Structure 1
Amino acid sequence: MRKNLGVVWLLTLTATCLSAADPTFIRRRISDIQPQPDRLTANARSAFYKPLFGAGDPQANQLKGIARYGELTVGPDGASATVSYPAEEQIYYILQGSGTLLYGDQKAPVKRDDFMYLPPGVSHGIASSSSGSVRLLVMGFRIPPGTSVAPTAKLMLANAADVPLVPVQGHGPTSLFKLLMGTTESTRDKLAAASQMVSLFIMDFAPGGTNIPHHHDMEEEIYFVLRGHGDMVAGGGADGNEGRYPAKEGDAYFIRLNCTVGFYSGSQAGESHDLILAVRSKYPFSRMGH
């Protein structure tokens, strides 16, 4: 009996060590996440929120610049609560369905692949249509103390279908990019809107393609698989080579700064291209005492 308990203890310790072996990234599968209470769902009508990273997730303290990242679903003829954050800018990306964005005193129709910038202090929420649900990603980014973010003159909203695919230097010939949103200084993105959110973009991978694993030494990043499957690169493997993990639609990876990140398409010739929605945010060095 004592020997069996020793074996169980050893296996538990081994599993714990393995799960903590590479603290440079966190991975989630959206189908495994249970809805949790959130300000967006408080006293709401048929609204459910799944936290993938940040607020509501057990490992929220691992994220420094990114405040939240999760999936909001609003059922037919439903509506989320309206929320505002004085020290957080947000982005919504519509994954499925259509509805109405509630933005201050405005109402704007939204549909699949719409993305929008929601500045600090502006109340916002989502209502679905009467005929179906709307499902979207909610992304939030902390505004450091002392940083002033001017309100946008108008609602900044666009659709990914209206953004061209372009090559990006250093990422090879087998992946193309839709540059959706950047900072207010951006000259290349569809929307130049944000303060701390550096880049929101879609990567389109040809079958067998890659964006060439790399790292960012000033930013946190999240990859979300919109379509397809392949190998996600995150951190270093036990053998010193890049860590590679099977990934499919609905999988999400949070990548800390200076962590190796990338993707290898698992699609074969003739199959649809793999798509990943990625977002990068400034790491708050000064706020963290660096």
Structure 2
Amino acid sequence: MIRQSLSVCMLFLLFVAASLPAQERRVDPTFLRRFVPALEARASDLTSATSRYKPIFGAGDPDARVVRGIARYGELTVDPGGASPEVSYAAEEQVYVILEGTGLLRYGEEDIPVRKHDYMYLAPGIRHGIRNPSSQPLRLIVMGFKIPAGVVITLPPNLPLANMDEVRLQTVGGHPPTTLYRLLMGDTRSTRDRLAVAHVVTSLFTMEFDPGGTNFPHHHEQEEEIYLVLSGYGEMVAGSGLDGIEGKFPARAGDACFFRLNCTVGFYAGNKAGEEKARILAVRSLFPSARRQ
């Protein structure tokens, strides 16, 4: 009887022990959502006495494991008269987008002036940093993308640099005319983007929405994507149910969302006639296991 009771007790303990990991394991989210102004700066290789980095997605963010092909995505602020440390990544291509201010980008052995709405491609292995000789803060988005092993890198002869405001607004096939796009950057095979230089980034672009406009919810089978709301407000679409009804979340300037591949993604503008238009900065990049067709 005692032996039987001990056996039952042991079986019960084994069952409890086996079920604990399943109960404690966290299910990875399909999308991530952040309000950038509320995030805190964290120490990083871009931090100095005069520069601060806010991780939004990827390196430095608590949910970095969810983001697979994107190494980092964050906001860098450089004080007047300040500078960020110079960095170099052998297996990471980067994109900088200047949101506010002016500065000097150190790229290899060159110092290149940059201004609001400039964006640039920083090739793997090229040392770079940014200084702010002005009297106003310099604020920019830093994006980094992991280069898979075996990818042959084509280094541009000069820094690929352009300004968003100088890229024409246009419609894009498959999306309603209530949304206009600026096609900023694509991969080296792109024929439609202003800069065709990337290896993992497939599309960097902005969207400008008419009142009540939408880009129509959709999904991508090979790419991760990030939206950053630059102005205006509306509803961010992230995920959907079996009936195709989108998951909608209120969104305003400063909101950022990361979407895993195959996650339903989209936006419905809430701005009315006479109000500032909703604008989004978006970037799409290959999932590590994906291959260009």
TM-score by length of 1: 0.89
In structure 1, list runs of 5 or more residues that go unmatched: 1-16
> 1:195-214 maps to which residues of 2 (within 5 A)?
195-214=199-218
1:49–1:73 Cα contact (<8 Å) kept: yes
Q: Identity rate of aligned residues, in percent?
A: 57
Instruction: Determine which of 222, 232, 247 is the counterpart of 1:218.
Output: 222
Secondary structure of 1:181's aligned partner:
strand
Q: Which residue of 2 aligns with 1:181?
A: 185
Instruction: Determine which of 26, 31, 34 is the counterpart of 2:37.
Output: 31
Let me know the Cα RMSD of the aligned residues.
1.7
Distance 2:275 2:225 in 1: 28
- Corresponding letter in the other structure for 2:264: T
Greater mean alpha carbon deviation, residues 137-146 or residues 237-246:
237-246
The structure with the largest strand share of the pair is 1
- Corresponding letter in the other structure for 1:131: S
Q: Which residue of 1 aligns with 2:108?
A: 104
Q: How far did 1:130 drift?
A: 3.1
Q: Which residue of 1 aligns with 2:9?
A: none
CA offset digits 1:146-186 (Å, max 9, x no partner): 11212111110000011000100111010010000000111
Instruction: Determine which of 66, 73, 76 is the counterpart of 2:77.
Output: 73
Secondary structure of 1:39's aligned partner:
coil
Rg (Cα) greater in structure: 2
Distance 1:254 1:158 in 2: 25
CA offset digits 1:38-71 (Å, max 9, x no partner): 1011xx2410000000000011011111110000
Distance 1:88 1:124 in 2: 13
1:175–1:210 Cα contact (<8 Å) kept: yes
Q: Which residue of 1 aligns with 2:17?
A: none
Secondary structure of 1:202's aligned partner:
strand
1:201–1:279 Cα contact (<8 Å) kept: yes
Q: Which residue of 2 aligns with 1:257?
A: 261
Secondary structure of 2:65's aligned partner:
helix
Summarize the Cα distance change of 1:270–1:215 in structure 2 as closer, same or farther, 3 Å threshold: same
Distance 1:238 1:59 in 2: 26
- Corresponding letter in the other structure for 2:285: S
The alignment of Structure 1 onto Structure 2 pairs a total of residues equal to 267
Q: How far did 1:286 drift?
A: 6.3
Greater mean alpha carbon deviation, residues 101-110 or residues 124-133:
124-133
CA offset digits 1:216-249 (Å, max 9, x no partner): 0010000000111000000126986210000101
1:207–1:272 Cα contact (<8 Å) kept: no
TM-score by length of 2: 0.88
Runs of 4+ in 1 over 6 A off after TM superposition: none
Distance 2:198 2:151 in 1: 12
Distance 1:162 1:90 in 2: 21
Distance 2:49 2:256 in 1: 27
Distance 1:208 1:240 in 2: 20
Distance 1:269 1:162 in 2: 25
Task: Work out whether 1:227 is the aligned partner of 2:231.
Answer: yes
- Corresponding letter in the other structure for 2:180: L
1:22–1:236 Cα contact (<8 Å) kept: no
> 1:29-178 maps to which residues of 2 (within 5 A)?
29-41=35-47, 44-178=48-182
